[in-house]
Structure 1
Amino acid sequence: MPAEPTKGPASYFPSIEKKYGRAIGEWQQLVRDRLSAKHMDLVSMLKSEHGMGHGHANAIVAHVLSMERG
């Protein structure tokens, strides 16, 4: 039986790694380092400081926040 395709924010991870040249773990750590910030502030940080597109930045932030909340 074939594996289920990745869904949700994690489905963006391969294209994020390819486009921006860093492992997802590195991007996630950047977000974790600033967890006191609001969701959209974290998205804005990835966009302004690292040139990431909105969808990719939002996917990383959403995934990290969902994992932190358990």
Structure 2
Amino acid sequence: MTSKVIAPDLTGEKPKGPASYFASIEKNYGRPMQEWLDLVVERLEAGEAHMKVVEWLKAEHGLGHGHANAIVAYVKAKLAK
């Protein structure tokens, strides 16, 4: 069963930590955060390591390192709860 990590609401108070990158990620890459989070959950739950997922986001989707790392870090933190 795949876990679901819900994207934070970006319209209210300014998010902190990795989520602070999310508005910029949506603007720069043209996809809603929920899509990015779902892709990363799938990879992490399949057993891929943090940096492998970061490298995949960079190579396959053109994300910058900081943006890719922020998404993976956010998902890992949520899945750990």
TM-score when scaled to structure 1? 0.92
- CA positional deviation for 1:4: 5.2
Q: Displacement, 1:6? A: 1.6
Distance 1:16 1:4 in 2: 17
Alignment match, 1:27 = 36
1:9 aligns with 2:18: yes
How far is 1:5 from its partner?
A: 3.2
Alignment of 1:1-70 (within 5 A): 5-35=14-44, 36-70=47-81
RMSD of aligned alpha carbons: 1.1
Q: Measure the CA separation in 2 of the matches of 1:49 and 1:13.
A: 19
Aligned residues: 68
Indicate the larger mover: 59-68 or 27-36.
27-36
Q: Secondary structure at the match of 1:37?
A: coil
Question: Taking every aligned residue pair, what percent have the same amino acid on both sides?
Answer: 59
Structure 1 residues not aligned, in runs of 5+? none
CA distance 1:17–1:4, shift in 2 (3 Å) = closer
Which blocks of at least 5 consecutive residues in structure 2 are unaligned?
1-11
**TM-score where L is the length of structure 2:** 0.80
Query: Higher helix proportion, which one?
Result: 1
